Amino acid sequence: MSRSFRVLAVTDRGLVREGNEDAALVSPQLIAVADGMGGHAAGEVASKIAITALASLGKVLDDGNIDDESREDLLLNICYSIDQEILDQSSANPSLSGMGTTLTALHLTERTIELLHVGDSRAYRWSGKKLSQISVDHTVMQELIDQGRLTPEEVHDHPQRSLLTQALMGDSGIDPVLVALDAKNGDKYLLCSDGLTSVLSDYEIEQIIKKSPESELISQLIEATKSKGAPDNITILWAEIVEETLTHVELIGAANE
């Protein structure tokens, strides 16, 4: 029996946007969130490209004959393939010019979790009743935090908090992050677009996780976000590592259009 992600997943348009440019992937060993950008439907094209490409990689990643180094190369290279596909489609269709997407994914192996990350969609680990961010935002604000010029509290309400330093946009000069983390059965993870984290603080999210029955957790997070205006699309994946052989695969949001 192999380990799998047991996943609860929801995407919501929010209260302001006319469409949903978020996309997500749910599968036994690979989960991901992509937050599209670019306006006038272009963002949803970009996020769909990212999630569809990643989903096609799933079976290859889980081939028992593949070694760790080859698997890591595949994960990193899919980002460059996505970037090239976005460039090709933008060049072929000028109305898509400027489109892009974030991509944050977790791949489960027998020993570890591999985090693949470009942009500011986030991955958190829930352990010991504490929420810990395991991704690092590719934003101007995060760089200022790293330099000690701003505090996380100052960033939360900053008007430029969403300015990205990296995204998959077709001419990105990207440097995707891939890190392996220890992972054991029972560990839980939260993947989300910034439609959640730009509205609710980590502390607020943590308190909702503590107070909510698991079956109601995502709906409670979305309700709390909407109570504060929900200006962006909201996509949330809540995943637990279980010792089961699960088979469910689902494309969510823009990837399912």
Q: State the average pLDDT over residues 122-133.
A: 95
Q: Does residue 16 carry a pLDDT above 60?
A: yes
pLDDT band at 231 (very low <50, low <70, confident <90, very high): very high
Q: State the average pLDDT over residues 64-92.
A: 93
Q: State the average pLDDT over residues 83-90.
A: 95
The three-state secondary structure class of 187 is coil
pLDDT score, position 44 = 96
* Phi/psi at 51 (5° precision): -70, -40
Supply the pTM of this predicted model: 0.94
pLDDT score, position 236 = 98
For residue 86, which of 76, 100, 75, 74 has the smallest C-alpha distance? 100
- Among 8-17, 121-130, 161-170, the range scoring the smallest mean pLDDT is 161-170
For residue 168, which of 72, 43, 21, 32 has the smallest C-alpha distance? 43
Kind of pairing between the strands at 4-12 and 30-37: unpaired
Q: Does residue 160 carry a pLDDT above 70?
A: no
Annotate 49-73 with DSSP letters as a single string: HHHHHHHHHHHHHT-TT--HHHHHH
Our measurement of the distance from residue 234's CA atom to the centroid of its chain's CA atoms, rounded to an integer in Å, reads 11
Average model confidence (pLDDT) across the chain: 92
CB distance 195 to 225 below 8 Å? yes
For the chain, list the domains and their CATH numbers: 4-256 (3.60.40.10)
Q: Does residue 132 carry a pLDDT above 90?
A: yes
CB distance 22 to 233 below 8 Å? yes
Give bridge partners of residue 234 from the DSSP assignment: 12
- Please enumerate, as own/partner, the contacts of 221-227 that have beta carbons within 8 Å and a separation of 24 or more: 221/196, 222/10, 222/12, 224/200, 225/14, 225/195, 225/196, 225/199, 225/200, 226/12, 226/14, 226/15
pLDDT score, position 159 = 61
CA distance 195 to 230: 7
Q: State the average pLDDT over residues 188-205.
A: 96
Rg (the chain; Cα; Å): 17
pLDDT score, position 39 = 64
- Report the C-alpha dihedral over residues 121, 125, 131, 137, rounded to 10 degrees: -30
For residue 33, which of 4, 5, 54 has the smallest C-alpha distance? 54
pLDDT score, position 21 = 96
Query: What end-to-end distance do the CA atoms of the chain give, in Å?
Result: 33
Percent of the chain scoring above 90 in pLDDT: 77
Q: Does residue 9 carry a pLDDT above 70?
A: yes
pLDDT score, position 157 = 65
pLDDT score, position 144 = 77
